[in-house]
Amino acid sequence: MLPETIPTVTLTARYLTPDGRPMSGTVDFRPPALLTHAGEDLFLGGPTRATLDPEGRLRLVLPATDGPGWNPAVWTYTVTERLSGLGRNSRSYQIVLSAD
């Protein structure tokens, strides 16, 4: 569990096929190689993996990318989706999770 002084974002999503059926699979959220937060004497690394529930939903709490005290100060998550029905193994992209 993260210290209360670190801003977080609750991320929710639902993955459906074009005809409305729930997808299955996992979604990884990976910060840069290693994040440090001097104010909390904290190091974060590695991915956080969310497994879609039977309705194709996910919900997780992640540190905000714009919170004060992080090193590096500017960063994004690399999101990698591994989902049934995509017709390929996975897709990846970058996101910013703002505390505001």
1 in a structural domain? no
**Beta pairing partners, 12:** 59
CA 40 to chain centre: 21
24 in a structural domain? yes
Average pLDDT, the chain: 92
Mean pLDDT lowest for which of 23-37, 45-59, 78-92? 78-92
100 in a structural domain? no
Per the structure, the complete domain to which residue 90 belongs is given by 8-95
Q: What is the pLDDT of residues 30-56, one digit of tens each?
A: 999 899 998 888 999 999 999 999 999
Q: Over 80: is that where the pLDDT of 26 sits?
A: yes
Helix, strand, coil % in the chain, rounded to nearest 5? 5, 45, 50
**CATH number assigned to the domain comprising residue 17:** 2.60.40
Selected residue with higher pLDDT from 60 and 89? 60
* Residue 61: Cβ-neighbour burial (10 angstroms; 0-12, 13-18, 19+): exposed
65 in a structural domain? yes
Contact in structure between 10 and 59 (CB atoms under 8 Å): yes
Q: Over 80: is that where the pLDDT of 25 sits?
A: yes
36 in a structural domain? yes
Selected residue with higher pLDDT from 99 and 13? 13
17 in a structural domain? yes
Reduced to 3 states (helix: H, G, I; strand: E, B; else coil), residue 38 is: helix
Q: Over 90: is that where the pLDDT of 62 sits?
A: yes
73 in a structural domain? yes
Structural domain total, the chain? 1
Reduced to 3 states (helix: H, G, I; strand: E, B; else coil), residue 7 is: coil
* CA gap 77, 8 in Å, rounded: 13
Q: Over 90: is that where the pLDDT of 80 sits?
A: yes
Q: Over 90: is that where the pLDDT of 8 sits?
A: yes
